[in-house]
Structure 1
Amino acid sequence: GLNTEMNSGLEIPLCSVELKDLYDMTPDQYKAYCMRKYEEADNVIRANKKISAAYAELLTVLNKDALYGLLCGYDYQLLQAYAQQKGLSLRDAGKEYLSKKTSDGYFDFLSKLDYINSPKSVYCFNYSGMVRNTAYIHLPSVKTVGIFDYLLDSSKVSPEDKEAMKKYRDNPSSQDASIMRVLRDKYDNLFQECGKVALEANQKAVGELIGGKGIYHDVQTAMQCASKLEDFMPLSEDDFATLRTIENPYFLNQLTAMNTELLQKIEENKKKRSFMVRTLPEDVKDDALFEAIVDPFKGKVVLVDFWATWCGPCKMAMKMMKPMKEELIDKDIVYVFIAGENSPETTWNNMIPDIHGEHYRLTNVQWAAICDKFEVRGVPTYLVLDRAGKQTYRSVGFPGTDTVKGELLKALNSSAD
């Protein structure tokens, strides 16, 4: 009956904003505006005598969901309003728009709205997305260590690199930006470590503001476990102990089944022989790294894939290219995958048996050197080499299976000519 009522054609407006109203607002002005829009919609829902109590309850929750999304996305909404007012694209507006800081009390809706930690919130179609996004809300009250301070305080950074970092920090306009890009790749683990510490501190503060227990925390815990499984990391006893503290047994049961499935897949992968782990000679110089990697495959067309185990687009592209690799299996094509130490070794070892090709895992120093040479600024990055080892194609980001296939066949045909 509720489903029929929802599809009856009766239009019930929920909380929404007009971009033309938002131009030049501060975050707190924007919040007050959204609250008014929410209350107007809420009053309309409550006054409507044509709908059932169940539908009214659902609409009330969906109205809170709409408000919550708007409040969390204040900066994007204000950017859109700026772009509209100036007649700019979002990309161009983003180059000149200055984000405005929120007050300390802006995010009190996390606890006062009774949405994200309410069991009724799971009525909303995008609840899981809201849980994920909420974890990345940055509270003004949370103070974290800056990346330069974190690196300069680390014993893992060499004295000469610390000196270069200090010069760049103190006067970035006078320094070559490529220096920091090299150091960024060289000390990638520390950059990730700093980001993780900051994120954990912020997530703890967000969780405390929302409240110590509830559906938000249950789903957040389950998502963290699911994320490990997606990265080919079986759950630990500590993970299971945490899941057992959740009152609803669904999460433990579901993740136990997912963990069992992963363990079976890892065992199956151990039997696969369609991949090869390769290592480089210890004496290979940084400027000769790439040649050493691809030299064994001279005479064949090579697709080089710079990737990382944590990179969602990398993994999605690999799945999309599986049928292509099957189709081209009889061709003289080799697939070379290059990752760095920022791909955890256990995760990497568990994942690569499912990825047909030749696999290298470089040290941080090697990864920094090769990325600097080929200007790899993000993953995935792809290179196509012909039979002579000459680069014929390059793409930052996955260009699509058809494009990759076309470039590989083009390199094959030109090599044949």
Structure 2
Amino acid sequence: MNKLIITLYLSLLCSIAQAQLPVPEYQKGKAILSGTIANYNPADNLMFKIGAPNIVMGSAETLFPTVEADGSFKIDIPLYHSTQIRIIIGNADFVILLSPEKETNVAINLSNPKGKQFIFNGQYATINNEWCQPELKTKIPPVYRDGDMLDSILGISANEFKKRCIDQYQQYIAHNNAQLQFSEDTRTLANLSCTFDCMENLYATRYCLQTAYQKKKNITWEQAVAAFADFDYPADFYDFLKILPVNHPLALYCYNYRNAISADLYELHHDPLMFEKYLLAKATLTQEEQTLIRQHEIAFKTGTAFQQGSELMALSVKYSKEDEQFRWELFSKAKERLSNIMQDSTCLIVDYLRAVYMRSSLYNLKPLTTLQETMASEITNPIFLGIIQDMNRQIQPRRKTITKEPNICKAPEVAEEELLDSLIARHKGKVQFIDFWATWCGGCRRMIKEYEPVKKELGEEVAFVYLTGPSSIEKTWKILIQDIPGEHYWLNEKQWGYLWKHFQMSGLPMYLVIDKQGNIAKRFIHVTRKELEEILKQEINK
């Protein structure tokens, strides 16, 4: 293993030594992407969307360029610094590098072979054109999505899985370094992109081994989680952070830099019940709430699906002070662990961990707490600090400038089991789209934005209804729905809890399409914008 690490380290040094790109700086502005699509036909309903990343939030804003009849388009993309954005058009899915206040132009011909479909002009034309060449390896696939890979890792140890990931990564780096037809900048960014994909796999070790076990045994997810309840990482597991270029000065150019931080926060043993145990110890819970937590613990240990997940999530809202203190202790310990691994408490990845701690407030449009401000004061990276300060500044002004009342609807005063039928009855004779979501659910909010063009096209023929529950802070909910046309319901605990159990939901979002007769025509957790449009049109035309 030591020989492997030395070889990998030397390889990385060779690949990054001559990079010419400047270190990215904080620069809030709008990048411009323009171009033309050859042989464009509006009737083809070509999928075309852009992901504009926010590195602090670990998410991307989804934008939909408007393409004219002649195939031309031009769109402003909000960025906080020079970085890669993600483009999905047709079957192509890739990233390109843009800068605020700079224009990049692209000629697109999707009928051409790979490597010739996109021709870029602009500030980073060389990098962007080379990035699209098939000889360059820019992405390591997630192990948990590869059935054959899952079969091959069944029963191996965490360190064996780690070695496989690093071996694969080393092969990708060696391959890219041999592609001398590409510039040093392009190879550097490609290697860094592979770094953060490799880290995603490494951080997902428990999940990958657990998924492989579930697949082999053909058991439920809950049963697999119970089987891995006592899974521990070896004491040296996170040592890979010492050899990967996680603090490379060009790292923040990468679209997938968000993979640099572990969801487990560098704990060797992850306890999914940690917050609930904290509440039992620190909060003055009702007897009913204590029973709820005990029931969840029993369900977890026995591998049984738990149907009261929404009620558990509501506890973090009710006991917000305990929740804040819990997260403070969690991140403080993680910062200490990561600082010890890196032997540097001021390096980029530790700064990023500090920045990630701000997400809970910024997601919910709440000013930073005193504890968050304390940790933010330790951040030295100007990009992280600039984004946090900018988002924090925007929160209060937005609250003050809201003048239009959202379409808030009062839930019918009926029994919980009659609620959905009563809601559906309001628009009987019309196709309906019902969205179960939460304000804290980043995926929910991204899909709402992605589906917005469908609403604009079919809004006269389809009723769009949004349901959320008590785990969404009501004040935050009222702010967010300002930008979401449709009917909005904030349901109480009993109403939301009943629907959660009735549909056996395990997470959000969840969607229903209701036909004109008031029946559930389709239920799903995700479809593309184009697929949703087709589903709704089919129901409209019946």
Q: Same fold (TM over 0.5)?
A: yes
Partner residue, 2:350 = 217
Equivalent of 2:432 in 287, 302, 309: 302
Match of 2:507 among 370, 374, 378: 378
Q: Match for residue 189 of structure 1?
A: 314
Summarize deviations over 1:230-250 as a string: whole Å, max 9, x none. Answer: 543455677566545433444
- Matched to 2:447, the amino acid is A
Q: Residue 104 of structure 1 aligns to a residue in which SS?
A: coil
* More displaced stretch, 352-361 vs 144-153: 144-153
Please report how far the alpha carbon of residue 271 of structure 1 lies from its aligned counterpart in structure 2 after TM superposition: 2.9
2:158 corresponds to: 27
Q: Which amino acid in structure 2 is aligned with residue 394 of structure 1?
A: K
Q: Distance in 2 between matches of 1:169 and 1:144?
A: 10
Aligned with residue 247 of structure 1, among 377, 380, 386: 380
The answer as to 2:450 corresponding to 1:320 is yes
- Going from structure 1 to structure 2, the CA distance change for 1:189 and 1:327 (only over 3 Å counts) comes to same
Distance 1:348 1:27, change over 3 A: same
Task: Show CA shifts across 1:109-134 (max 9, x none).
Answer: 44x44744x354727736622333x2
Question: Is there any run of 5+ residues in structure 2 with no aligned partner, and where?
Answer: 1-17, 21-125, 144-148, 340-344
Cα offset, 1:181, TM superposition: 0.4
Q: CA deviation at 1:322?
A: 1.8
Pair 267,302 (structure 1): closer, same or farther in 2 beyond 3 Å: farther
Equivalent runs, 1:1-400 vs 2, <5 Å: 2=19, 24-31=155-162, 71-75=202-206, 101-110=232-241, 112-113=242-243, 115-116=245-246, 118=247, 120=249, 122=251, 125=254, 128-132=257-261, 134-140=262-268, 155-159=284-288, 180-182=306-308, 184-190=309-315, 201-211=329-339, 212-225=345-358, 228-235=361-368, 242-261=375-394, 266-267=399-400, 270-273=402-405, 275-280=406-411, 284-331=414-461, 333-388=462-517, 390-400=518-528
Where 1:342 maps in the other structure, the secondary structure is coil
Letter in 2 for 1:308: A
Moved more, 346-355 or 395-404: 395-404
Moved more, 288-297 or 338-347: 288-297
Q: Give the aligned length.
A: 398
Answer with 94-103 or 352-361: which moved more: 94-103
Unaligned runs of 5+ in 1: none
Aligned residues: CA RMSD: 5.4
Amino acid in the other structure paired with 2:351: D
Deviations 1:286-339 (A, max 9, x none): 2232244344444543322111112223222221222222222433x3222110
Deviation at 1:221, TM superposition (A): 3.1
Query: Does the 8 Å contact 2:431/2:514 carry over to 1?
Result: yes
| Paired residues of 2:512 and 2:524 also in contact (CA < 8 A) | no
**1:365 alignment partner, SS class:** helix
Query: Given that residues 233 and 269 in structure 2 are in contact (C-alpha distance below 8 angstroms), is that contact kept between their aligned partners in structure 1?
Result: no
Question: 1:245-268, CA deviations, whole angstroms, 9 ceiling, x for partnerless residues?
Answer: 433444443443444555555555
SS of 1:187 mapped into structure 2: helix
2:355–2:376: 8 Å Cα contact kept in structure 1? yes
Q: Does the 8 Å contact 2:307/2:504 carry over to 1? A: no
CA distance in 1, matches of 2:515, 2:164: 59
SS in 2 for 1:181: coil
Cα distance in 2 for partners of 1:327, 1:10 equals 41
Structure 1 residue 369: Cα displacement? 1.3
**Identical-pair percentage:** 21
Distance 2:198 2:256 in 1: 13
Q: Which has the higher mean CA deviation after the structures are superposed, 337-346 or 137-146? A: 137-146
Q: Distance between the aligned counterparts of 1:114 and 1:353, measured in 2?
A: 43
TM-score scaled by length of structure 2:
0.55
Which letter does structure 2 place at the counterpart of 1:102?
Answer: Y
Aligned-pair CA distance for 1:411: 4.1
More helix by share: 1
Find the aligned partners of 2:173 and 2:539 in 1 and give their Cα distance.
Answer: 62
Task: Please name the residue that 2:81 is paired with.
Answer: none
In 1, Cα distance between the equivalents of 2:418 and 2:175? 70
Which one has a bigger Cα radius of gyration? 1
Amino acid in structure 2 at the alignment position of 1:322: E
Deviates more, 1:322-331 or 1:98-107: 98-107
In structure 1, distance between residues paired with 2:292 and 2:203? 38
Deviation at 1:342, TM superposition (A): 0.7
Q: 1:149 to 1:238 in 2, by over 3 A?
A: closer
User: Cα deviations across residues 390-409 of structure 1 (Å, max 9, x unaligned)?
Assistant: 22423221323344334444
Q: Shift in Å at residue 367 of structure 1?
A: 0.7
More strand by share: 2
**What are the superposed Cα offsets for residues 329-382 of structure 1, whole Å, 9 maximum, x if unpaired?**
433x32221100111122211101111011111122221012223444432222
Are the equivalent residues in 1 in contact too, given 2:193–2:254 (CA < 8 A)? Answer: no
Q: Distance in 2 between matches of 1:354 and 1:365?
A: 27
Q: Kindly indicate whether the alpha-carbon contact (under 8 Å) linking 1:145 and 1:198 is maintained by their aligned counterparts in 2.
A: no
CA contact (8 A) 2:210 2:224 kept: no
Select between 294-303 and 213-222 the one with higher mean Cα deviation.
294-303
**Following TM superposition, by how much is the alpha carbon of 1:60 offset from its aligned partner in structure 2, in angstroms?**
9.6
Query: CA separation of 1:404/1:391 partners in 2, compared to 1, >3 Å: closer, same or farther?
Result: farther
Give the Cα–Cα distance (whole angstroms) in 1 for the partners of residues 522 and 161 of structure 2. Answer: 44
CA contact (8 A) 1:229 1:235 kept: yes
Q: 1:167 to 1:342 in 2, by over 3 A?
A: closer
